[in-house]
């Protein structure tokens, strides 16, 4: 198949910032792209060859869109899987496969998948409704504290809550959920694995993630992770096992906990480019977005090692601001050495909304981390 400067069409479900960054690379290769998204303001709209407005959870919208492309991929998991299944039956190549997505879309089935495949993960209980969790606490089936997670549609800190008292359950949606043992951990780690359609596999270096205490969102991604080589090796081995178990095609970001005893437990996965790989744009030989395209088109995978140490800072909407976005002090951070801002193109800001990221590269990782702190203090995402 000739993908370059040809009639070949790559379809992407979702037109957010991940789609936009995928399109940097399809533009580089002159690959024809179509995007389906529910918003006319989607960041990807400016960079694709064709844009279709439609609900990603709507069967007809996804099915009809998929019929017009040769290969279909995603930049968000919340898509209509029934439509993907039917497209696969009709010969459309869908990566990741509908089977993988169906498992991953639901946190309860995702956790059961780990148990079935002997992948280390924190102990958990599954509930049809949040209201059942209270009964389980009262009769000793669940012990406090634990992490409550909505089984579906949680992202970026939404649908996750640490429950320390029964009162913490008040106000949570009464939905299918899991109660997961609260694991005391040293680090949150992530490994991105790339797997091509013909089975070539490569993984990126282990990164460590520092989280915002209130928003439960990643504040910093540090590559490589500042951990012992043995722990890194263990994390990579677990990530590769997860990838092999799913037999996925494309990228798989495997988020993990490093426990106090240096065990590795899988938290969750994302079968697409991921926040924990944004620093690869500046710091790696092959960025995660190019690698995803190489993998789903069955092209040779690129080098995954880093050229330089990298730290990524998420730019999120400041608390107390909603409306037309203003990036305050962006010129100040651009004066700093090794600093590159990425603005996603969302016109409206609101508290904790992901609006962009900044990469800081330096041969000295500690210096990169220090500059990242300066960047975080300097730039403010506010509204007019």
- Dist. CA 265–CA 67, nearest whole Å: 39
182 is in an annotated binding site: yes
CA distances, 174 to each of 101, 105, 131, 148, 149 (Å): 24, 18, 6, 12, 11
**Cβ pair 340, 279 in contact under 8 A:** no
Residue 336, strand partner residues: none
149 is in an annotated binding site: yes
* Residue tagged 């009262």 (tokens): 138
- Dist. CA 163–CA 170, nearest whole Å: 10
- Dist. CA 103–CA 14, nearest whole Å: 19
268 is in an annotated binding site: yes
180 is in an annotated binding site: yes
28 is in an annotated binding site: no
Nearest to 280 by CA among 337, 344, 203: 203
**Cβ pair 381, 316 in contact under 8 A:** yes
Nearest to 296 by CA among 49, 81, 73: 73
Nearest to 206 by CA among 54, 365, 72: 365
314 is in an annotated binding site: no
41 is in an annotated binding site: no
What would the two tokens of residue 22 be? 């995928």
**Cβ pair 153, 171 in contact under 8 A:** no
Binding site, annotated residues for ATP: 107, 149, 180-183, 188, 267-268
Give the annotated binding-site residues.
107, 149, 180-183, 188, 267-268
């Amino acid at each position: 198949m000739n993908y370059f400067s040809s009639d070949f069409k790559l379809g992407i479900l979702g037109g957010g910032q991940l789609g936009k960054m995928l399109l940097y690379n399809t533009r580089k290769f002159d690959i024809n792209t179509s995007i389906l998204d529910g918003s006319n303001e989607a960041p990807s709209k400016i960079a694709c060859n064709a844009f279709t407005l439609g609900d990603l959870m709507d069967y007809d919208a996804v099915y009809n869109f998929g019929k017009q492309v040769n290969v279909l991929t995603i930049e968000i998991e919340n898509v209509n899987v029934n439509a993907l299944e039917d497209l696969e039956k009709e010969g459309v190549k869908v990566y990741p496969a509908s089977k993988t997505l169906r498992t991953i879309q639901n946190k309860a089935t995702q956790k059961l998948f780990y148990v079935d495949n002997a992948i280390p993960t924190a102990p958990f209980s599954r509930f049809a409704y949040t209201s059942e969790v209270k009964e389980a606490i009262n009769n000793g089936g669940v012990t406090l504290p634990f992490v409550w997670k909505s089984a579906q549609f949680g992202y970026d800190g939404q649908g996750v809550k640490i429950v320390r008292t029964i009162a913490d359950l008040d106000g949570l949606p009464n939905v299918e959920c899991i109660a997961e043992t609260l694991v005391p951990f040293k680090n949150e780690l992530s490994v991105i694995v790339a797997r091509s359609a013909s089975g070539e596999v490569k993984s990126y270096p282990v990164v460590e993630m520092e989280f915002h205490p209130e928003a439960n969102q990643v504040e910093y991604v540090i590559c490589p992770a500042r951990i012992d080589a043995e722990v890194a090796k263990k994390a990579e081995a677990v990530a590769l096992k997860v990838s092999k178990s799913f037999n996925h095609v494309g990228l798989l970001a495997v988020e993990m906990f490093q426990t106090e005893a240096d065990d590795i437990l899988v938290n969750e996965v994302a079968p697409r480019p991921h926040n924990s790989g944004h620093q690869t744009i500046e710091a790696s030989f092959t960025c995660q977005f190019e690698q995803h395209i190489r993998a789903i088109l069955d092209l040779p995978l690129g080098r995954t090692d880093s050229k330089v140490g990298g730290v990524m800072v998420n730019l999120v909407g400041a608390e107390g601001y909603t409306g037309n976005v203003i990036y305050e002090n962006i010129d100040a951070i651009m004066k700093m050495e090794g600093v590159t801002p990425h603005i996603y193109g969302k016109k409206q800001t609101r508290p904790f909304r992901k609006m962009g990221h900044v990469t800081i590269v330096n041969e000295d990782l500690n210096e990169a981390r220090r500059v990242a702190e300066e960047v975080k203090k300097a730039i403010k995402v506010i509204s007019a």
